[in-house]
């Protein structure tokens, strides 16, 4: 048995609420579940930097409720580990939704994040998603020195329209195989 290998994967649950009434009820109008993703080289390198104790002064930010975001975009280009982030012409980065629990949460080799995309946010076709970390002031500029995306998954999720709220609950899972 080879104990030197690890497995990286993800699970995404997308709750779609068509209006405030369904959001208030807590009953989504649709739920989409997606598994798998591509780990990005920059994200893996950042994990090692965090393990090594580097900090924001080194351009490395903790995975916490301030610096962690979920991004969505409209690109359908195949995910590759050498990519540095979302590729779509339309992109949106949502902060952690800390309304019930302070995210991200780490437990049993799983990083769990939750982000809410409100009625005016990310109203375009969603084809890609990923978890990002870094200085939130630079999300608009995508300054590569302060924003790192850990993963990228390409899969059609639907078209979000104004007035709807979509919530992503995603897990990054690392296990010894």
- Split into its structural domains, the chain has a count of 1
Q: Each residue of 69-82: pLDDT tens digit?
A: 999 999 999 999 99
Q: Is residue 41 part of a domain?
A: yes
Backbone dihedral region for residue 172 (phi beyond 0: left; psi -120 to 50: alpha; all else: beta): beta
Distance CA 108, CA 2 (A): 21
In this prediction, residues 23-35 reach a mean pLDDT of: 97
What global pTM score does this model have? 0.90
Residue pLDDT, tens place only, 111-137: 999 999 999 999 999 999 999 987 666
Query: Other C-beta atoms within 10 Å of 56: how many?
Result: 12
Give domain status of residue 39, yes or no.
yes
Please report, in angstroms and rounded to a whole number, the separation of the first and last CA atoms in the chain: 9
Residue 33 domain flag = yes
- Is residue 1 one of the residues assigned to a domain? no
Q: Does a structural domain hold residue 25?
A: yes
Q: Which domain holds residue 172?
A: 6-176
Q: What pLDDT was estimated at residue 42?
A: 87
Residue 82 falls inside a structural domain:
yes
- Is it the case that residue 24 has pLDDT exceeding 90? yes
The DSSP output letter for 79 is P
If we measure between CA atoms, which residue out of 134, 132, 91, 96 comes closest to residue 113?
96
């Amino acid at each position: 048995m080879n104990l030197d290998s690890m497995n990286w994967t993800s699970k995404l649950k997308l709750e779609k609420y068509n209006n405030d009434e369904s959001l208030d009820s807590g009953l989504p109008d649709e739920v989409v579940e997606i598994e798998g993703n591509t780990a990005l080289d920059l994200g893996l390198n950042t994990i090692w930097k965090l393990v090594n104790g580097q900090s924001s002064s080194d351009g490395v930010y903790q995975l916490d409720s301030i610096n962690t975001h979920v991004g969505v975009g409209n690109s359908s280009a195949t995910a590759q580990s050498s990519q540095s982030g979302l590729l779509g012409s339309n992109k949106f980065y949502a902060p952690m939704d800390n309304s019930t629990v302070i995210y991200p949460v780490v437990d049993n080799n799983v990083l769990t994040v939750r982000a809410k995309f409100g009625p005016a946010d990310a109203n375009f076709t969603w084809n890609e998603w990923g978890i990002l970390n870094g200085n939130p002031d630079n999300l608009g500029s995508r300054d590569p020195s302060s924003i790192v995306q850990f993963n990228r998954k390409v899969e059609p999720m639907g078209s979000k329209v104004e007035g709807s709220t979509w919530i992503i609950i995603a897990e990054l899972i690392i296990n010894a195989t």
